[in-house]
Chain A
Amino acid sequence: MSLVNEVRKAFYLDSVALMRYSRTLAEMTGVDEAAMMMGTPANREIMTNAGLLGPDAEGAEGGDLIIGIRGRDDASAQAAIAAAKQLLDQPSGRAASNDVWRPRSIRAAVASEPAANLALISVSGEFAVAEARKAIRRGLHVMIFSDNVPIADEVTLKREAAELGCLVMGPDCGTSIINGVPLAFANKVPRGRIAIVGASGTGIQEVSCLIAAGGGGISQAIGVGGRDLTADVGGISTMMALDALERAAGTEHIVVISKPPAEAVAKEIVKRIGESEKTFTVCFIGAEPGALPANARFADTLKAASVLALESAGVTVDATAASNPQPAPSGRDRIIGLFSGGTLCSEAQIIFARAGRPVVSNVPIPGAPGPAEPETADRLIDLGDDQYTRGRPHPMIDPGVRDAALADALRDEVTGIVLLDVVIGYGAHEDPAGHLARQLEDAAGHGPLIVASVTGTEGDPQVRSSQVAILERAGVLVAPSNADAAALALACLSGGKP
């Protein structure tokens, strides 16, 4: 055992800094005890009691710094003394931390950012309404990403918020772009004069990306939640969003996207559109086109919605699919579609229905006739549906959710084509195409054809063209849109003739 003292005359350091240094030294190998203290009588007593004060430190006074090391042997003690001197001579000289404080409650967040007027709520569904209430009582609009909120709570909350003049986007609202800021799952699209109000997250993503690809831009994209246009909710948020956009000078054209609304709600919306001074595209996926006022046109697919919106904004679009079909393996005439976006799955069903091919789906579009022989019919599956995501992330976050179904489809001997969507953007997986390419490695060349689309833009973190390139290298036929991919799949099946 070896005790070594060293004294620095007239060298002051704060006691907390010294305690931290002492701990560093005490943790060195071969050091039994270590202390660095100013030589005040109280400190000298502490060091004496700890067996850290020897004759070498006898003359030290209050303004002197004492280093005391008790080591297993002299070499260990001397090494610690050297380390101590290094700590004294070369203080860290840089900020040890860049940790920025983040508020943990809506109240504190508002206090730190008083100009904020929107809260994005993404907590477990059972707490979402309580948090949303806190927000609207502070005058904030809310976007509720959470799902599993009872519909009765949604109705009450939306009514309360409307009283307070606050818009509730959601619950289960996956996508919004407010003042150019993408929220939750959304893409980097240019700003422009087209607004979207949508009860479908992937619907908003697909339409906004196609508008961007066609040279248009988005003023606002307002998600309202999948149930807003049901009879229970009555379109409260959709109507508020339309009112707000009516007043917004930067918006000329408005696209409304939803599953077929309840009849009474559809009527209200159409009436409201008729009173508007702006032009509209109405895209009720799976609904029959009803009578619309002169300032509105009906789109039966997301792609058609983007084309009509672009035309209204004065952009002409070449809407023909750019990809060349290839013949699917002969003797295999079944298509299996595995989608991460629910509305993309619905859109594909419409394309298939139009081509006279009834499909099996876990999310069938209303009124679609079921196939005569469901066992061998085409299957278009939404893997984002609850039955696949219970206890798992959404396939847009974790593309692995699709792996098992994809492997089954690739092995299936009557399947000629596998149809896929790849959705990128903020919130989505960092490289869904790469993940898909790895799953396809073994199947390349001898299995079914793979047809896909990529919903996204060049500005997205994953970069659309890079994702497309990865898929094409893996042998995937990539179409410019989801609707085009569905059409391409059908064309490939009919022998590769467009």
Chain B
Amino acid sequence: MEAIEQANRAAVGRMLEADPVLIDVVPACEAIPALADGRKILHAGPPIEWDRMCGPMRGAIAGIAVFEGWSAGLDEATAMAAEGAFEFHPNHHFGAVGPMTGMTTRSQPVMVVENRTFANRAYCTVNEGLGKVMRFGGNDAQVLKRLAWLRDVAGPLLAKALRECGGIPLKSLIARGLSMGDEMHQRNVACSGLLLRELAPALARTSQDVQLLAELLSFMGGNDQFFLNVGMATGKAIMDPVRGIECSSIVTAMSRNGTDFGIRVSGTGDTWFIAPVEMPEGLYFPGFTETDSNPDMGDSTIVETIGLGGFAMGAAPAVAGFVGAGAASEAGNYTRAMTEIGYGENPEWTIPALDYLGVPTGIDIRLVVETGIAPTINTGIAHKEPGIGQIGAGVVRAPMDCFKQALRAFADEMGVSGQ
């Protein structure tokens, strides 16, 4: 017990000491050299092969194969994927994360978040905005055209500005966002605005083409979820130094691929503990119902892993309404419930409406299993067919079975006989 307590204190200590800074945007193959060779596609969630992938994941893979020039069209790409022409790996195995389908391939621009305390880096693609987008399985010409614009225009402009200004520190930016009603998963309005405000002078100084700069500013200004991907890379950069601490029962990653939900725990190394993913409950855009929805998907649960998203619901009463009958005034109850499974509180990320309660930090698998309280996750909902995109948003629970499996393995690791 004492060894676990010490290890967890160390684990959460590393989380709180982290100093994430957005420093650059580079082509994925520069950040992740392994992507340069072969036809590698990184996806969200724990490992999965083509025949078990859900519709939106397959749609995104077909789209990204066309985008990378590996296939002439979507049908050919689909056929190639089925024949094993592409290599699939989880983002998490390459220091990356991606929202929903989480496609990361060689030529896509990725944002680089450096954890300056531990000198590690994490990567995430640039958020595509709302509507028909690849992260929800969209793959038509409009989707691919936007990806090309991100690669050719947005990425390089952001890169120049970030290098010129020396990076944007993210810890305090997120703290301000929490006090402005963001929880950094479903709601990123404040942080997206704050980031744009911080970047604007450097963008102005480094952009030669006013027309292109205006395009970028208009894109960022029109995308309330722009910061989601920054927050996700932040989460990955914070959690990676927590991996592999002997005797620690703290969760280092939660992630889903639309078929499986997986978690990793510090004391059990890089093993994924996997269970079938659950269906989100939420509100739908007009024309869609829960029968259209795909099961839960994406690496974005990394934000819950660091105490944001569903854990910080109390900061964002407006999103609490996504939970069936939940009232905005109940938002704080979600955060308080998550304190039951969190090792501690984050003294810098506080929620004014909860009398400055710090967000619950460090999910302890022992507490999850003991209390029977699974992490609450705020999420977008994708259509189950490829190519349609986002149809709603809601709340989902991490499957309890992942935590039970992890606890058994953890007990084995500790030399305790589990039942």
CB-based contact A19/B283 at 8 Å: yes
* B16 CB within 8 Å of chain A: no
CB-based contact A105/B370 at 8 Å: yes
The one of A40, A42, A96 in contact with B329, judged by C-beta atoms closer than 8 angstroms, is A96
CB-based contact B330/A104 at 8 Å: no
Contacts of A101 in B (CB 8 A): 332-333, 336-337
* C-alpha gap A112/B131 in the complex (Å): 42
* A320 CB within 8 Å of chain B: no
Contacts of B329 in A (CB 8 A): 95-99
* C-alpha gap A100/B337 in the complex (Å): 11
The 0/1 profile, CB within 8 Å of A marked 1, for residues 169-211 of chain B is 0000000000000000000000000000000000000000000
CB-based contact A99/B333 at 8 Å: yes
Contacts of B318 in A (CB 8 A): 14, 16-17
The one of B286, B372, B373 in contact with A22, judged by C-beta atoms closer than 8 angstroms, is B286
* A332 CB within 8 Å of chain B: no
Residue of A nearest to B186 (CB): A16
Which residues of chain B from 392 to 408 have any CB-CB distance to chain A below 8 Å in the complex?
A: 392
The one of B286, B321, B367 in contact with A35, judged by C-beta atoms closer than 8 angstroms, is B286
Contacts of A23 in B (CB 8 A): 283-284
CB-based contact A107/B330 at 8 Å: no
* C-alpha gap A97/B326 in the complex (Å): 9
Contacts of A47 in B (CB 8 A): 286
* B328 CB within 8 Å of chain A: yes
Shortest Cβ distance from A101 into chain B, in angstroms? 4
Contacts of B319 in A (CB 8 A): 16
CB-based contact A107/B340 at 8 Å: yes
Shortest Cβ distance from B354 into chain A, in angstroms? 10
Contacts of B286 in A (CB 8 A): 22, 26, 33-35, 37, 46-47, 50, 52, 68
Shortest Cβ distance from B55 into chain A, in angstroms? 18
* C-alpha gap A45/B129 in the complex (Å): 14
Contacts of A51 in B (CB 8 A): 287
Contacts of A34 in B (CB 8 A): 286
Chain A interface mostly: mixed
CB-based contact B287/A46 at 8 Å: yes
Residue of A nearest to B187 (CB): A16
Contacts of B119 in A (CB 8 A): none
* B266 CB within 8 Å of chain A: no
Which residues of chain B from 324 to 374 have any CB-CB distance to chain A below 8 Å in the complex?
A: 327-330, 332-333, 336-337, 339-340, 367, 370-373
Residue of B nearest to A134 (CB): B370
CB-based contact A97/B371 at 8 Å: no
Which residues of chain B from 277 to 334 have any CB-CB distance to chain A below 8 Å in the complex?
A: 283-288, 318-319, 321-322, 327-330, 332-333
Contacts of A20 in B (CB 8 A): 283, 321
The 0/1 profile, CB within 8 Å of A marked 1, for residues 104-116 of chain B is 0000000000000
* A111 CB within 8 Å of chain B: yes
* A86 CB within 8 Å of chain B: no
Contacts of B212 in A (CB 8 A): none
* A369 CB within 8 Å of chain B: no
Q: A95-B327, A95-B329 given as contacts; is B130 within 8 A of A50 (CB)?
A: no
Residue of B131, B287, B330 with highest tally of chain A CB at under 10 A: B287
CB-based contact B131/A45 at 8 Å: yes
Shortest Cβ distance from B324 into chain A, in angstroms? 10
Shortest Cβ distance from A201 into chain B, in angstroms? 30
Residue of A nearest to B390 (CB): A46
CB-based contact B131/A16 at 8 Å: no
Contacts of A52 in B (CB 8 A): 286-287
Contacts of A498 in B (CB 8 A): none
A-B pairs, top 7 by smallest CB distance, nearest first, are A50-B287, A35-B286, A96-B327, A97-B327, A50-B286, A19-B283, A101-B336
Interface of A with B (CB < 8 Å)? 14, 16-17, 19-20, 22-23, 26, 33-35, 37, 40, 42, 45-47, 49-52, 68, 95-101, 103-105, 107-108, 111-112
**What are 25 A-B pairs with beta-carbon distances under 8 A?**
A16-B321, A16-B322, A19-B283, A19-B284, A22-B283, A42-B129, A42-B130, A46-B285, A46-B287, A50-B285, A50-B286, A52-B286, A96-B327, A96-B328, A96-B329, A97-B327, A99-B327, A99-B329, A100-B333, A104-B373, A105-B371, A107-B367, A108-B336, A108-B340, A108-B371
